[in-house]
């Protein structure tokens, strides 16, 4: 047995052609995908409007308290607050329904695509020459059929959906922020270059490590499959210790790469949150000053702070 599994990694000869073929698998259900994307976009727009509407309720209450007590009570327009809360409740319910239907539709697309891919994969493997199985390990083939096929379909569909939703959310939040205050919006936008720098330094390295993790997982699967298939020969030739030692080597190698990949992937969010919180504090201070001078209503600042808190989410997702 050999350390490290297969030493030659096959490189795609036509990457663009492969991507096109993968899209062709999903094109069979293009209307389902389009419907899911539209529903998700509508749900995202509803979510974007909610903070602004809630902010208006805060403004109504604040204005009532600012006028002082009249006849032993504050002149708060509870009828207006009731209408605002009903509107928000409707938006929340509609948002949940649209997202549920969209997710259900995407799951159907993903699982149907996985089904087709595996069917064609099985048909392909029955047509390849016998020498293919001599030059490629069974464990690696199994890893491609089980792990890789599922990852391809799930990641492609969900990544496309997430990318579309993130773009809608990014520009939607940006428009709402500028509609409230261009000055605060520019301050919030100053965090974008710093966030982009952090992402550009971490994401590419993390992506390479995850790719290497999949390769090492295939090697480990190959070793386990060969060990189980040749158990009788291993015992007959007294190779148990060698096999155990090699498994430990492969397992340790996979652990090291997986740990690095998960660490880099996990540290990205805390760094992004740090940048977001920095911008949040600056906006909160400037917004408070604007409220005290009457330049902005309290509810508008509240809504803007919510948008500031949400602004980095689309970038992190992308």
Does position 89 have pLDDT exceeding 60, yes or no?
A: yes
Is the model's pTM score more than 0.85?
A: no
The rounded Cα 273 to chain-centroid distance in angstroms is: 16
pLDDT of residue 300: 93
Angstrom CA distances, 146 to 36, 119, 212, 307, stand at: 26, 12, 17, 41
| Segment among 42-46, 114-118, 250-254 with least mean pLDDT | 114-118
**pLDDT, average across residues 95-104:** 92
Does position 146 have pLDDT exceeding 90, yes or no?
A: no
Tokens of residue 62, six digits? 């604040």
Give the integer Cα–Cα distance in Å for 193 and 200: 10
**pLDDT, average across residues 223-251:** 86
3-state secondary structure of 1: coil
Does position 6 have pLDDT exceeding 50, yes or no?
A: no
């Amino acid at each position: 047995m050999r350390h490290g599994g297969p030493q030659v990694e096959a490189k795609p000869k036509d990457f663009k052609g492969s991507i096109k073929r993968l899209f062709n698998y999903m094109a069979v259900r293009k209307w389902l995908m389009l419907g899911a994307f539209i529903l998700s976009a509508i749900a995202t727009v509803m979510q974007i409007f909610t903070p602004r509407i809630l902010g208006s309720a805060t403004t109504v209450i604040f204005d009532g308290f600012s006028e002082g007590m009249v006849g032993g009570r504050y002149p708060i327009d509870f009828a207006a607050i009731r209408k605002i809360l009903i509107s928000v409740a409707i938006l929340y319910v509609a948002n949940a329904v649209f997202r549920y239907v969209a997710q259900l539709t995407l799951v159907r697309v993903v699982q149907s695509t996985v089904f087709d891919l595996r069917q064609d994969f099985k048909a392909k493997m029955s047509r390849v020459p016998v020498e293919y199985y001599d030059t490629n390990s069974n464990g690696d083939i199994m890893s491609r059929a089980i792990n890789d096929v599922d990852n391809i379909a799930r990641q492609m569909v969900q990544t496309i959906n997430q990318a579309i939703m993130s773009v809608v959310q990014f520009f939607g939040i940006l428009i709402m922020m500028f509609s409230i205050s261009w000055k605060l919006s520019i301050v919030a936008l100053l965090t974008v270059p710093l966030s982009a720098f952090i992402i550009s330094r971490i994401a590419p390295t993390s992506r390479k490590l995850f790719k290497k993790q999949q390769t090492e997982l295939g090697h480990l699967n190959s070793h386990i499959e060969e060990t189980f298939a040749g158990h009788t020969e291993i015992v007959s030739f007294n190779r148990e210790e060698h096999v155990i030692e090699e498994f430990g080597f492969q397992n340790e190698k996979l652990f090291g790469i997986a740990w690095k990949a998960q660490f880099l992937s996990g540290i990205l969010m805390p760094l992004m949150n740090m940048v977001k919180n920095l911008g949040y504090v600056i906006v909160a201070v400037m917004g408070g000053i604007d409220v005290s001078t009457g330049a902005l209503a309290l509810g508008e600042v509240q809504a803007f702070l919510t948008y500031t808190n949400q602004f980095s989410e689309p970038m992190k997702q992308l």
